Amino acid sequence: MNATDLWTKYVAWLERNAPLAHANLAGPASAQEIAEVERVTGYALPEGVKDVWRLNNGQKETMIATTTNDAVVCIPTLSFLSTGLTVSIWRVWDQLRRTDAGIEELQSGGSSPEEGVVQPLYTHAGWIPLWSDPTGADFIGVDLAPGEKGQVGQIINFGRDEEEHRCYAPRFEDLLQILLDEVESGAWPASERTGSNGAKQPWLGDPQEHFFNTLYARWKARMPADPRELVQNAKAVIKAREYQRAGELLAQARSLGMKEGGVSWSLTAQAFAGQEQYMEAETAWAEATRLAPKIAAHWEARIDNLVDNLRDLENADAVAVAAGAAHPDAAVFVLERARIAYFQKEYANALPFYARYAELNPDDASARSNHAWALGANGKVDAAVAEAGAAFDAAGEDGGAVAIEAGFYLYALARRAEQPERLARLRALLDADTRTDDWDFDPIIATAAAQKHPEIAWLPKLANVANGVAGIDQLAAWPAWTAAAR
């Protein structure tokens, strides 16, 4: 359908549904008035634009940002500009382009999300206003100087508050079809708004809505998804533990040219890990740490994946060394080095790291308990007992796993005279169902054996109870255990 037919149908709709807006339509523009627009701007107008002006030269009364009149609009929430107003508004912007001292800064602030379609400027002589926000210097108009991927005559937004320019329609006729579809849907009925004097004034459409928003929504619906929004959606579904969906969103973002960075790769790693694809998670974490080495959390998650999921301790240690180099003041990577040595059963290597971590965290009961373990595992009995005692006291009687671990070290390594009291305190915790989980007491038991602990035969069974892998009834036949009851 051509512009004349589309506009004629729209005008008929106005007459039936918004008679006051219809009554405000101006009569036809003359050939001279239309030619004046082309003469002043220096651009040839699309025939469709001229055809509509040949039917109606804007509005009889027009409300724009520089006027105070409360004229009813003839486009939903927008004023339909006459040839004369188009020329006067264009001239105001042309003067700004030619004389404003800050024009270069303004021009650099313009942009377009469709690369190459609209020129990334704030204003251009080839942008001809047709419809205007009645209360602001913002316009829907025809672009006669498009980007290399655009087309002459496309419809765009521009103006004082419209720094991001989008192609809302490829031709003026397409804009008219959108207008006709919108009003025929019932979305823009005749209405009223509060005018400048506080009185009710006739209007077209909900005063709280804006036709700019409708054009934007239509544009958004037909545009490819924004990779940045897909990444944000992936972050949200990861929080909801929808890991497969997160992976799909990230894959889609990459297909749309997402700029890769530490965040995108960390989300990818989390999506893989959530699906128990741990090798793929390691590859993603490696990219995250390469691209954003200053984000300590990425390194920590990568090491945890290598240790806890892949059990690749050799690579985990190499990564922990790199993490420590990138974050020399981060205590967490000291602990990671200690933890890796623990799993490797390299007790001598673990000791300096557990010692350093305890030094950095002197009030942390867990840090001191782990240091006590490392001291005991390396046969440093007196130091282990002292550190375990400090950890036990810091944890308190209800200190959970830390109190169980430290209590075990104290019973296994303390002097013989102290052992009954230490066992009694440990039993009180175990009777209260306090446990640790999968902790390696074997090196402590080995040191206790070397110290000729009198109850060495029962220590492995006690360790199993402490770890929760055996019931407390397994100790019922142990005389020392019975004596330790309180």
- Distance in angstroms between the alpha carbons of the first and the last residue of the chain: 95
Q: What strands lie across the sheet with 127-132, from one edge to the other?
A: 79-80, 127-132, 138-143, 154-159, 167-169
List the one residue out of 158, 95, 168 whose CA is nearest residue 127.
158
Phi, psi of 193 (to 5 degrees): -135, 165
Tens-digit pLDDT string for the chain (486 aa): 899 999 999 999 999 999 999 999 999 999 999 999 999 999 999 999 999 999 999 999 999 988 868 899 999 999 999 999 999 999 999 999 999 888 999 999 999 988 899 999 999 999 999 999 998 899 999 999 999 999 999 999 999 999 899 999 999 999 999 999 999 999 999 999 888 788 889 999 988 899 999 999 999 888 877 888 899 999 999 999 999 999 999 999 998 888 899 999 999 999 999 999 999 999 999 999 999 999 999 999 999 999 999 999 999 999 999 999 999 999 999 999 999 999 999 999 999 999 999 999 999 999 999 999 999 999 999 999 999 999 999 887 667 999 999 999 999 999 999 999 999 999 999 999 999 999 999 999 999 999 999 999 999 999 999 999 999 999 999 999 999 997
Three-class SS state of 204: strand
Q: Where are the extended beta strands (E) located within 56-99?
A: 79-80
Residue 66: per-residue pLDDT: 83
Residue 397: per-residue pLDDT: 61
Residue 229: per-residue pLDDT: 87
Residue 470: per-residue pLDDT: 95
Residue 221: per-residue pLDDT: 86
Task: Render 429-481 in DSSP notation, one character per residue.
Answer: HHHTT----S---HHHHHHHHHTT-TTGGGHHHHHHHHTTSS-GGGGTT-HHH
Burial class (CB in 10 A: 0-12, 13-18, 19+), 465: buried
Alpha-carbon span 217 to 211, nearest angstrom: 10
Residue 223: per-residue pLDDT: 82
Given the structure tokens 């079809």, which residue do they identify? 177
Q: Are 120 and 149 in contact (CB under 8 A)?
A: no
What pTM was estimated for this model as a whole?
A: 0.61
